[in-house]
Chain A
Amino acid sequence: MGGFLIGASLSALLAVVTYAALVTFDVEQSPQDEAALVALEGDGERY
C-alpha cells in the first residue's frame, strides 16, 4: 500500500505542478492557434 500511496501522490503532485506551470507560463493565444481555429472552424464543412 505504501508503494501505491507514494506513486499516486507523486502523480497528483506532478499534475498540480504542471497546472501551475501551464498557468504561469501561459502565452496569449498564439497567432498559430488563432489561424488554426480559423482554418479548422471556418473550414466550411459543406458539400
Chain B
Amino acid sequence: MSGDGSEVRVRGRDFTGYRIGGAIAAALLFLALVVQGWELFDGDARTVPEVAWSAAGDAGGESILTDEILRDRTRLQSQRFRSGPSPDGTAETFKVGDAILLGNRAIDDEDAMLTEIWRLPDDESGSLLRGSERIIGISSLPYANAALFERPFARDWRLGLADVVTHVGAFAILGFSFLLALVLAVRGRVPIAKGRTDRTVKRFGLLERANHWLTAVSFIMLALTGITIAYGRTLILPFGEELLGSLGWLATWGHAMFFPPFALGLTAMILLWTVRNLPSRLDIEWLRRAGGFFSDDPDNPPARKFNAGQKLVYWSAVIGGLLMIATGIFLMFPFWFADLQTMSWIMLTHALIAVFLIAIFIGHIYIGTVGMQGAFWAMWTGDVDRNWAEEHHELWMHELDKGR
C-alpha cells in the first residue's frame, strides 16, 4: 500500500451532510458548555445547605415555614397538656391544608408516634446513627439529630459528590461530545478511502451481536436513568415538579431493573471477547499513529480483529462495568455491608466512574455510527465491506483469507 494517497477515492470532507450536522451539534453543545460554565459562577455551584424546614402547604403549593408549624403545634400541645385529649372532640385539630397532622382523638399507643428505631436503637442502628464524627449541641426538640450541629464528613462528601463530581461530569460529557461534533464538522467521517465494494465479510456472528445490543441497550438505560437521578434537579425541574417526580420515580425503578441485563451482557462479553482484546505489540504503533484516524490515507496502522482503540473501549467497559456493578450492589443494599462513611465513598465512586464511562461510550457510539463509514454494519447485519476490513483490520482480513 502506498502512502501517496493516489488510491483515495472517498475523502472524509466529502460527507457534506454529516459535516453540517456536526457543525450544528457542535454549536448547540458549545452553548450547553457555556451554560455549564456559567453555572460554576452563578453562586449555587456549591450546594448551600437548607436551613429552614418547610412542609407542603395548601393546594396552591405554597409552603409554610416550619417555624409557624412548630409554633401552632406547640400551642396545641400545651393546651392538650392542660386539658388532656378531649373526649367530646372539642379540642382543636391541627391541620395543614387538608391533612390532619394532629387529631383530637386520644392516642392509644404513645409508642406508635415514634418509629421503633428512634425509640430503641439496637447496636447496629445505634452505630449507624453515629456514623461519623459529629459536633453535637443540646436540644429538647423531639427529633433525632435535632441537636446535631455539624457533621464534617457530610460536608466533605457533599462537596465531593454534589459539587465536584457533578460539575466535572457535566464538563466531561458535554466537552467530549462537543469535541466529537467538532471533529465531524471539520474532518468529516473516516471514509472507506478506496470506496465501497460489493463484497462483504462476516465480522460478528448473531450471538456476538445480540450480546452487544443486550449490553448496549442496558447500559444506555442505566445511563439515562442515572443521569435523571443525578442531574434531575438541573435538567428536569425547570419543566415542573410533577415531571421531575414522575421521571424520578421511573428512573429509580429503571436503574435497578436494568442492572441484571447489563451484568449478564457484560459477563457474556468477557467470555466472548477477552482473548481478542489482550494487548499486543501492534497496539503501541497503532496508538502512536492515533489509528490513522485523522488522515484519509487507506494505509492505517495494522490491526487484528480489534485495534488498540477498540481494546481501550473494551477494557473500559469491562473494568468500569465491573466496578459499577460492585459499587451498585453496595448501593442496592444500603448498610448491609458498609457503614455510613463507606457508603458515602462508594456512592461517590459510583458517580465518578459513571460520568467517565458515559463520556467514553458517547465516543464509541460516535465512531460506531456517524464517525466512520461502514462501521455500523458490523454490529447491525454482522457483515462489513471488504475494503473497510482491509483498511482498518488488515491483519484480521489476512487471517480470514488464509483460513479460506
How far does the alpha carbon of A6 sit from the alpha carbon of B221 in the complex, in Å? 16
Q: Note all chain A residues with C-beta closer than 8 A to B143.
A: 42
Instruction: Of the listed stretches B36-44, B121-129, B390-398, name the one at the interface; the rest are far from the partner chain.
Output: B121-129
Q: Note all chain A residues with C-beta closer than 8 A to B151.
A: 43-45
Instruction: Of the listed stretches B112-120, B185-193, B301-309, name the one at the interface; the rest are far from the partner chain.
Output: B112-120
How far does the alpha carbon of A19 sit from the alpha carbon of B225 in the complex, in Å? 15
Q: Which residue of A lies closest to B48 (CB)?
A: A45
Interface size on B, residues (CB 8 A): 59
How far does the alpha carbon of A39 sit from the alpha carbon of B116 in the complex, in Å? 14
Report yes or no: B49 in contact with A18, Cβ–Cβ below 8 A.
no
Report yes or no: A42 in contact with B380, Cβ–Cβ below 8 A.
no
How far does the alpha carbon of A1 sit from the alpha carbon of B50 in the complex, in Å? 51
Looking at chain A's contact residues, is the secondary structure mostly helix, strand, loop, or mixed? helix
B258 beta carbon closer than 8 Å to chain A: yes
Report yes or no: B257 in contact with A15, Cβ–Cβ below 8 A.
yes
Q: Which residue of A lies closest to B47 (CB)?
A: A45
Report yes or no: A7 in contact with B216, Cβ–Cβ below 8 A.
yes
Report yes or no: B213 in contact with A16, Cβ–Cβ below 8 A.
no
B245 beta carbon closer than 8 Å to chain A: no
Q: Note all chain B residues with C-beta closer than 8 A to A7.
A: 209-217, 265
Q: Which residue of A lies closest to B211 (CB)?
A: A7
Q: Note all chain B residues with C-beta closer than 8 A to A15.
A: 218, 221, 254, 257-258, 260-261
Report yes or no: A35 in contact with B51, Cβ–Cβ below 8 A.
no
Interface residues on A, range: 20 to 34
Query: 1/0 per residue A19-47: CB within 8 Å of B?
Result: 10010000000011111101110111111
How far does the alpha carbon of A42 sit from the alpha carbon of B50 in the complex, in Å? 12
With contacts A11-B218, A11-B258 taken as known, whether A32 is within 8 angstroms of B124 at the C-beta atoms is yes
With contacts A1-B381, A15-B221 taken as known, whether A32 is within 8 angstroms of B211 at the C-beta atoms is no
With contacts A1-B381, A3-B206, A19-B253 taken as known, whether A44 is within 8 angstroms of B212 at the C-beta atoms is no
Report yes or no: B210 in contact with A10, Cβ–Cβ below 8 A.
yes
A28 CB to nearest B CB, Å: 11
Enumerate B46-103 residues with CB–CB distance to A below 8 Å: 49-51
Give the residue of A6, A18, A19, A22 whose beta carbon is less than 8 angstroms from that of B210: A6
How far does the alpha carbon of A8 sit from the alpha carbon of B379 in the complex, in Å? 13
How far does the alpha carbon of A42 sit from the alpha carbon of B148 in the complex, in Å? 8
How far does the alpha carbon of A19 sit from the alpha carbon of B259 in the complex, in Å? 11
Give the residue of A3, A16, A39, A40 whose beta carbon is less than 8 angstroms from that of B257: A16
Give the residue of B125, B145, B150, B261 whose beta carbon is less than 8 angstroms from that of A47: B150
Report yes or no: A18 in contact with B259, Cβ–Cβ below 8 A.
yes
How far does the alpha carbon of A46 sit from the alpha carbon of B158 in the complex, in Å? 13
Report yes or no: A34 in contact with B117, Cβ–Cβ below 8 A.
yes
Report yes or no: B209 in contact with A38, Cβ–Cβ below 8 A.
no
Given A11-B258, A14-B260, A22-B257, 15 further pairs, Cβ under 8 A: A1-B381, A3-B212, A7-B217, A11-B214, A11-B218, A11-B261, A11-B265, A14-B264, A15-B260, A15-B261, A18-B259, A32-B128, A32-B334, A44-B151, A46-B150
